[in-house]
Structure formats: C-alpha cells, structure tokens
Amino acid sequence: MNNKEYADIVLKELTHTLTAIDQEAAKQFVSLIDQGDEIFCAGAGRSGFQVKGFAMRLMHMGIHSYVVGETCTPNIAENGVLVICSGSGETKSLVNHAAKAKEMGARVALITINTESTIAKMADVVVEISAPSPKSAKQGDIKSIQPMGSLFEQSEGIFMDIAVMMLMEKRNMTSDTMFGRHANME
C-alpha cells in the first residue's frame, strides 16, 4: 500500500472511534474540567504523551494544569480533577493515582477502552474510545491496521483537542486569546 491508501484507512478508523464516543460522557468530561480548581493529567507511555499535550492546552486557556510525576506538580486537593488516559484502565501506577485522588476528595475522569476496569470503577466520568489495544482485555468494536494501541492513542489525543474546543466555546475563547500564554522561552 502507498501513503494515501494508508491515510484513507487510518482516517476512516479515526472517524469511527471519534464519532462513537458517547456525547453525554464527552459533555460530562468537559464540565468536570470546567469546574475543577486544578487539573492533574496522568498517563503512561504514548497515552502519557497525549495527556501532556492536553495539560499544555489547558494551561494555554489559563487553567491551572499539571502533569502527575513532574517535579513542580503540587498536591491534589478536594476540588481538583485527575484526568487519566489508560487503554486498559489497569496500569498499576495510574490505579494508585486514581485511588489517591479519590482519597483526597478529588474527582477522576478516565479516557479508556475498558469501561469495566479498576480505574473506571473509581472514576466520576468515563469516556470510552472503542479501539483495539494489546494491553486491554476489552478490544473495542473496530479492528485496526495500525500497530499495537496506535488507534486508541491517536483517538484520545484528538478527543482531548475536541474537549479543548468545547471548553473554548463555553468560555468564549479563541486561539488568539490563548496564544498570549504560549511559551516564549523556546
């Protein structure tokens, strides 16, 4: 296959996963972020890279956002929100983060394949992305030509970008109003 053929298939896969996300769960996710005093973001591996991008966009919006595990991340408190990206919902470190957040009275939002996972059972909001992953017992309702969990990881990143756009609309913001917080020490 050539690049265009692969691109056509990948875009169809992404369209399938993104349009299958439950609209009520997406609204609840955005509402939870909007109401939180501080947003803490956690994920492992490629999901961790995706959620770091989300934390950055929240910062661009003026929302206090942090990446769990970074040296300058403060403690989570009662009105904090922990966003976890985990295909399996069973990654031990992320299960521990969710348990600690709940212990502190914070809320948890999970983006996952596995809605029956340990983290899903603790979460206040679960956004299901129906994609295959070798790490999840639940495989989603689509087969992918992409390796490993690529479809999930791409879908969660795009979903979080869509959530940012929903927040921007809710808060009457534009890219121009956000750009003032863009890094200037690059």
Domain chopping of the chain, boundaries: 3-70+77-174
Q: Sheet of 38-43: strands edge to edge?
A: 65-67, 38-43, 80-85, 107-112, 125-128
Phi and psi torsions of 168, nearest 5°: -60, -45
SS3 call for 66: strand
Provide Rg for the chain, Cα atoms.
Answer: 16
The superfamily (CATH) of domain 3-70+77-174 is: Glucose-6-phosphate isomerase like protein; domain 1 (3.40.50.10490)
pLDDT tens across the length of the chain (186 residues): 899 999 999 999 999 999 999 999 999 999 999 999 999 999 999 999 999 999 999 999 999 999 999 999 999 999 999 999 999 999 999 999 999 999 999 999 999 999 999 999 999 999 999 987 666 555 556 788 788 889 999 999 999 999 999 999 999 988 888 777 777 667
Catalytic member of 38, 153, 156, 169: 153
State yes or no: is 78 an active-site residue. no
SS3 call for 174: coil
- Using alpha carbons, list the distances in angstroms from residue 76 to 68, 97, 147: 10, 10, 35
What is the rounded CA–CA span in Å between residue 181 and residue 69? 23
Query: CB–CB of 113/144 below 8 Å?
Result: no
